[in-house]
Chains A and B, each alone.
Chain A
């Protein structure tokens, strides 16, 4: 899996790529919904396009599916340029955000719709429909009308309708967005199970990071029409390269500063009110560069006593603000000396927390857990 910003990415084609886009762009009036995005998705991968609403991920998915034509750039499916082909001429099928089932057709007719267009013999259609309904857990629902199904069942029918066509690539546009939280979790696991069973490429659009982290083999972060970064879920969550990703994924604290020293694998940052040491990033900025440090909220400990100064951890003196109880743990609001807020997460220990509003406290985090961002 690789991502490039230019057309030169075409040289990286290895033959087992399901989807490639080369600098695709799409504008609606003055709004540039997708801005020169290049992405490659391997065959059989569960690929997630994650980002805030209005960031362009659905437009990118629709460009891949042929529902919109790119203003610039190319879309390749299995190495073949399909940029100018309509959706019915592409080897993709799509599951939509809202229940795009045909309301005048039963479950069976919805699922068999595409097969009938292919003019397959009736017994073959019946066999395929029965087997796919079993796969999505809707055996025996053939005669039901869409309005007789729950939200989750309707999405399963949509999934079955797409899967039964045996397309190589399944596009899912926020398929779980209209489901309640519990149902969404169940469906996440279901989608992953089905994808592993059928072994085709899934490209799933969502703005929900939990959903993305649960389900994805790889995640691409998309915002403001641009590809921000891409990687495996653990990498994206634990080692985001971009400041935007750190801000968007998980709960990270961002502090701006300036590099004042570089020593081997570490750099020293002047935050204005204190200095901290962070691991050196791939981007290797020079001394004097303006940078941002991100520290995951769950890596921070809060103590009343000043910790020992050492290389493996960093600490700052802060003012404790308040605790918000979240059930599995608590979120603590802290005030840095420069007046900016900071957040720490602690797990519920059963013991009452000792700090109260206005107390002077110390926040400590492992040096290795902080990241350096230059952009």
Chain B
């Protein structure tokens, strides 16, 4: 909003600064996308638009397999991290020790990705030994290899990484919800689950959906944890990083980076646009509500 007593030039300067900042942050991303559509790749004098590199990427069996594995990992993470984040957010609203709770929930985010990944690696190795010892003691092979590196370990690593984000995103939406509505539903005869599903969830589903999108995107973008914990399969980000380290950025690499960036921007962009439109609608409704009450 413009300050009535401020200079119009100061107002314009603030906008110019904001646009410059966003431009600076997004320029490398858009530049990669731009190059990914060039027939002649990076640093060529000629620019000729093509979809060829995308066709090549999507025709590469290894890349498509990595895309599939990433999809499974994203789906598994969404299905586990979002309900866990939701439960944590519900618990947060009830607890009296809110600061301690948030600190504990967000603490894993402050551990550097590589350190978290290597810690999990060691942890799973030791856990395997414990389980193997248990199996030996029982004279059975039941617990052998439960924590061998593979999809399960990569999934656990991904869940540890994404739960705090899911929690924060849901909590933001949930803060608008008034618990009295749950009590009113219970007073009408609803069970705790009915009150949640029929009254609370319809009001927080945007946050839950945003959280799903966020967790999915994080699963596509994350590399260090899965690189150490994935075992015998590759994720899209791992293949991209490996390619860059081994042969540098090829035309296919740009196309892969383009796919990830376009997907992320499209998902986050749609959520942002929807959220802004929704918040504008809620604000309009709030203004209507704030009109002087009529004796009725």
Contact = CB atoms under 8 A, between A and B. Distances in A.
Given A87-B187, A147-B288, A98 B295 contact: no
Interface in B169-220: 178, 180-181, 183-192, 194, 198-199, 202-203
Interface string B257-291: 00000000000000000000000000001101101
B122 interface: no
**Among A67, A88, A104, residue most surrounded by chain B Cβ atoms (within 10 Å):** A88
B188 A100 contact: no
Contact of A152 (B189, B199, B291, B296): B296
Given A88-B190, A100-B180, A150 B185 contact: no
B188 A113 contact: yes
B226 to A, nearest CB: 39
A96 B96 contact: no
B99 interface: no
B294 interface: yes
Contacts of B96: 29
B46 interface: no
Contacts of B294: 150, 152
B278 to A, nearest CB: 12
B104 interface: no
B188 A147 contact: no
Contacts, number: 84
B191 A147 contact: no
A333 B202 CA distance: 57
Nearest to B205: A104
A104 B183 contact: no
Interface in A56-104: 65, 67, 86-88, 92-94, 96-98, 100-104
**Among B181, B184, B294, residue most surrounded by chain A Cβ atoms (within 10 Å):** B184
Nearest to A92: B187
B247 interface: no
A279 interface: no
Contacts of A152: 293-296
Interface string B86-99: 00000000001000
A93 B185 contact: no
Interface in A143-191: 147-148, 150-153, 158, 161-162, 165, 179-180, 182-183, 186
Contact of B185 (A29, A98, A113, A182): A113
Given A100-B178, A148-B288, A183-B295, A161 B188 contact: yes
A101 B188 CA distance: 12
A26 to B, nearest CB: 15
A98 B293 contact: no
B180 A117 contact: no
Contact of B296 (A65, A88, A117, A150): A150
Contact of A86 (B186, B199, B288, B289): B186
Given A67-B183, A150-B293, A150-B294, A117 B188 contact: yes
A98 to B, nearest CB: 6
Interface residues of A, number: 36
B190 A94 contact: no
Nearest to B203: A104
A183 B293 contact: yes
Contact of A87 (B183, B198, B203, B289): B183
Nearest to A94: B187
B180 to A, nearest CB: 4
A328 to B, nearest CB: 21
Contact of B188 (A98, A148, A165, A179): A165
B293 A114 contact: no
Contacts of B190: 88, 113-114, 117
B293 A88 contact: no
Contacts of A150: 291, 293-294, 296
B193 to A, nearest CB: 11
Given A152-B295, A179-B293, A87 B180 contact: no
Contacts of A153: 296
Contacts of B184: 94, 96, 100-102, 158, 161
A176 to B, nearest CB: 12
Given A102-B199, A147-B285, A182 B295 contact: yes
Nearest to B291: A150
Contact of A114 (B189, B203, B289, B296): B189
Nearest to A158: B184
Contacts of B203: 103-104
Interface in B63-111: 96
A62 to B, nearest CB: 8
A96 B181 CA distance: 9
A67 B178 contact: no
A165 B184 CA distance: 12
A98 B189 contact: no
A93 B198 CA distance: 18
Given A100-B180, A183-B295, 6 more contacts: A93-B187, A94-B183, A94-B184, A113-B185, A118-B189, A179-B293
**Shortest 7 CB-CB contacts between residues of A and residues of B:** A114-B188, A100-B180, A100-B184, A151-B293, A94-B187, A147-B285, A87-B186
25 contacts: A65-B187, A86-B192, A88-B187, A88-B189, A88-B190, A88-B191, A93-B188, A94-B183, A94-B187, A100-B178, A100-B181, A101-B181, A102-B181, A117-B189, A117-B190, A147-B285, A148-B288, A150-B296, A152-B295, A152-B296, A165-B188, A165-B189, A183-B293, A183-B295, A183-B296
